[in-house]
């Protein structure tokens, strides 16, 4: 344009000025748009294939698992910072006996977990661990930590509070049993249901009808069944004295074997061994409702004057008790099954509630030693009640802010 040394004319200058201004305006308005377009282009570009490295978990620490049977260690770590971005899907734990090589997969926990119990280790052997944050493909390992040694414990420190409670309980029982042995008079409140056993046996004798004793559907490993067997022994003595037939259908063969012995011994103890009939203590079935059908059949055919339900019962309780009520029997029940108690209370004449079942044997036999045990049990229950009230007051005060919530912390047993 400036060829041949010619001066630029005013018109030419104006044209250049317009072009420059136009370019400046274009730069001013178009560049941001271009920049945005560029950003769009960058976004639109295909993702890079280069791996995105995850931040590994930090602060890995490993200790022998407390209060265990041995063969395990517990790992804890700080979560990977990439968890916040949702990049981490889980953590993989690798283990080796050598810090430099041989690491093998041991287990996996989902994102958000910061602890893992590595079990199946050999007690006394040294192990090294590392933990990887993973997104399903990439693994980013922590530092290697070790050696750690697993070993078993001989005492579960987490249960020390239970041990203390058990010791107090045992001492209370032993103290009261000893007191009873020394001849100390012990008061025991009346249990109308058990007072009625004598009358019920007498009634059956007068009517010439049998007594039906049902010791629940549970097995011999249930304490309620054992309590029922203890009561059966006392009831059998009374039926033997009155020479009244006692029918005991059993739902468990071991319970049957024990109950046969108990009844036989009871008959022998009152001097009537010949009155005992092995066929009156028999096995019916283990099946719940088949047992109900069998017992209901006995009730309807034999029409017992008295029916005793003692032990653990389930859904069959009401079917049994209502059938018993329909045949006009006096019914005495005792169970620790909280859900079945309302049914027995409704359908039976007398019901032993919960712990009364366990007290029944001592109550019926009136043996001082057994009553001593009962007294010890009541004393511990009183202590538990006092502790509950204290706990209630402390919890209420802590909730209202009157006392710090953790002032009892030094007493906590953490194991």
Partner 1 sequence: MRRRLPLALCFIAGIFTAVQYFIPHAAVQDFQEQLLGWLMTLLAFAFLLGTVSLIRLHWHKIRNRADDRGYSFVALAGLTTMIGLGLFHPAHHSPDSPFNVMFQNVQVPIEATMFSLLAFYVASAAFRAFRARTLEATLLLVAACVVMLGRVPLGELIHEQIPIATRWILEVPNLASKRGVMIGVGLGMMATSLKIILGIERAWMGGTD
Residues 327-366 contacting partner 1, CB under 8 A: 336, 338, 341-343, 345-347, 353-355, 357-359, 361-362, 365
Of 96 and 153, the one with the shorter C-beta distance to partner 1 is 153
Which parts of 368-407 interact with partner 1 (CB under 8 A)?
369-370, 373-374, 376-377, 380-381, 384
Counting contacts by CB under 8 A, is residue 153 touching partner 1?
A: yes
Please choose, from the candidates 148, 10, 137, 22, the residue with its C-alpha nearest in 3D space to the C-alpha of residue 76: 148
Counting contacts by CB under 8 A, is residue 248 touching partner 1?
A: no
Contacts by 221-226 with C-beta closer than 8 Å and gap 24+? 222/311, 222/312, 223/358, 224/311, 224/312, 224/335, 224/336, 224/337, 224/357, 225/252, 225/255, 225/311, 225/312
Bridge partners of 332, per DSSP, are 308, 350
Counting contacts by CB under 8 A, is residue 314 touching partner 1?
A: no
Q: Which distant-in-sequence residues (6+ apart) come within 8 Å of 118 by Cβ?
A: 72, 73, 74, 75, 93, 95, 106, 107, 127, 129
Minimum distance, C-beta of residue 306 to partner 1, in the bound complex (Å): 19
- Please state at what angle helix 368-400 crosses helix 160-181, rounded to 10 degrees: 140
Q: How many residues does the chain have?
A: 415
Counting contacts by CB under 8 A, is residue 274 touching partner 1?
A: no
Contact, 158 vs 72, CB < 8 A? no
Counting contacts by CB under 8 A, is residue 169 touching partner 1?
A: yes
Counting contacts by CB under 8 A, is residue 319 touching partner 1?
A: yes
Counting contacts by CB under 8 A, is residue 22 touching partner 1?
A: no
Residue range at the interface with partner 1 (CB under 8 A); choices 21-29, 76-84, 150-158, 405-413:
150-158
Counting contacts by CB under 8 A, is residue 265 touching partner 1?
A: yes
Counting contacts by CB under 8 A, is residue 125 touching partner 1?
A: no
Counting contacts by CB under 8 A, is residue 367 touching partner 1?
A: yes
Counting contacts by CB under 8 A, is residue 313 touching partner 1?
A: no
Minimum distance, C-beta of residue 289 to partner 1, in the bound complex (Å): 4
Which parts of 30-59 interact with partner 1 (CB under 8 A)?
none
Minimum distance, C-beta of residue 131 to partner 1, in the bound complex (Å): 26
Contact, 120 vs 104, CB < 8 A? no
Counting contacts by CB under 8 A, is residue 262 touching partner 1?
A: yes
Residue range at the interface with partner 1 (CB under 8 A); choices 104-112, 170-178, 183-191, 206-214:
170-178
Counting contacts by CB under 8 A, is residue 307 touching partner 1?
A: no
Of 153 and 275, the one with the shorter C-beta distance to partner 1 is 153
Using CB under 8 A, count the residues that bind partner 1: 91
Residue range at the interface with partner 1 (CB under 8 A); choices 17-25, 195-203, 218-226, 401-409:
218-226
Which parts of 101-120 interact with partner 1 (CB under 8 A)?
none
Counting contacts by CB under 8 A, is residue 292 touching partner 1?
A: yes
Counting contacts by CB under 8 A, is residue 71 touching partner 1?
A: yes
Minimum distance, C-beta of residue 374 to partner 1, in the bound complex (Å): 7
Task: Please select the residue that binds partner 1; options are 263, 307, 308, 329, rule is CB under 8 A.
Answer: 263
Round to whole Å and give the CA distance between 379 and 382: 5
Q: Which two tokens stand for residue 383?
A: 């202590």
Minimum distance, C-beta of residue 354 to partner 1, in the bound complex (Å): 4
Q: Residue 329, CB half-sphere, CA atoms under 13 Å: how many?
A: 34
Counting contacts by CB under 8 A, is residue 258 touching partner 1?
A: yes
Counting contacts by CB under 8 A, is residue 283 touching partner 1?
A: yes
Please choose, from the candidates 248, 258, 260, the residue with its C-alpha nearest in 3D space to the C-alpha of residue 216: 248
Counting contacts by CB under 8 A, is residue 269 touching partner 1?
A: yes
Of 93 and 255, the one with the shorter C-beta distance to partner 1 is 255
Task: Please select the residue that binds partner 1; options are 76, 89, 96, 156, rule is CB under 8 A.
Answer: 156
Residue range at the interface with partner 1 (CB under 8 A); choices 22-30, 106-114, 136-144, 367-375:
367-375
Of 65 and 140, the one with the shorter C-beta distance to partner 1 is 65
Q: Which two tokens stand for residue 181?
A: 């042995």
Q: Which residue has the tokens 């036999």?
A: 365
């Amino acid at each position: 344009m400036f060829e041949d040394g010619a001066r630029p004319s005013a018109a030419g200058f104006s044209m250049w000025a317009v072009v420059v201004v136009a370019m400046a305006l274009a730069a001013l308005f178009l560049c941001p748009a271009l920049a945005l377009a560029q950003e769009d282009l960058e976004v639109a570009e295909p993702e890079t294939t280069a791996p995105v490295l995850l931040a590994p978990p930090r602060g890995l620490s490993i200790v022998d698992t407390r209060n265990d049977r041995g063969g395990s260690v517990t790992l804890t770590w700080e979560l990977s910072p990439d968890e916040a971005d949702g990049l981490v899907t889980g953590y993989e734990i690798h283990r080796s006996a050598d810090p430099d090589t041989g690491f093998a997969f041991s287990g996996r926990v989902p994102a958000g977990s910061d602890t893992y119990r590595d079990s199946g280790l050999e007690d006394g052997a040294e192990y090294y661990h590392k933990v990887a944050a993973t997104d399903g493909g990439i693994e980013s390992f922590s530092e290697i930590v070790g050696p750690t040694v697993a070993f078993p414990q001989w005492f579960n420190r987490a249960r020390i509070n239970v041990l203390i409670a058990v010791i107090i309980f045992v001492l209370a029982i032993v103290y009261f049993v000893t007191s009873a042995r020394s001849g100390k008079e012990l008061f025991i409140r009346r249990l109308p249901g058990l007072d009625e056993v004598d009358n019920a046996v007498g009634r059956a004798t007068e009517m010439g009808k049998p007594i039906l004793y049902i010791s629940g559907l549970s097995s011999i490993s249930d304490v309620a069944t054992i309590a029922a067997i203890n009561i059966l022994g006392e009831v059998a003595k009374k039926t033997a004295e009155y020479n009244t037939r006692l029918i005991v259908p059993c739902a468990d063969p071991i319970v049957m074997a024990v109950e046969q012995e108990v009844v036989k011994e009871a008959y022998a103890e009152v001097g009537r061994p010949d009155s005992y009939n092995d066929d009156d203590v028999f096995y019916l079935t283990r099946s719940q409702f088949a047992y109900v059908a069998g017992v209901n059949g006995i009730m309807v055919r034999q029409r017992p004057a008295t029916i005793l339900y003692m032990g653990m019962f389930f859904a069959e309780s009401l079917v049994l008790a209502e059938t018993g009520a329909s045949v006009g029997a006096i019914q005495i029940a005792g169970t620790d099954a909280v859900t079945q108690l309302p049914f027995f209370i409704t359908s039976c004449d007398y019901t032993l509630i919960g712990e009364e079942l366990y007290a029944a044997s001592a109550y019926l036999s009136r043996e001082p030693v057994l009553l001593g045990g009962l007294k010890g049990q009541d004393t511990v229950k009183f202590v538990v009640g006092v502790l509950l009230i204290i706990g209630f007051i402390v919890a209420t005060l802590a909730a209202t802010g009157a006392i710090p919530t953790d002032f009892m912390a030094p007493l906590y047993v953490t194991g």
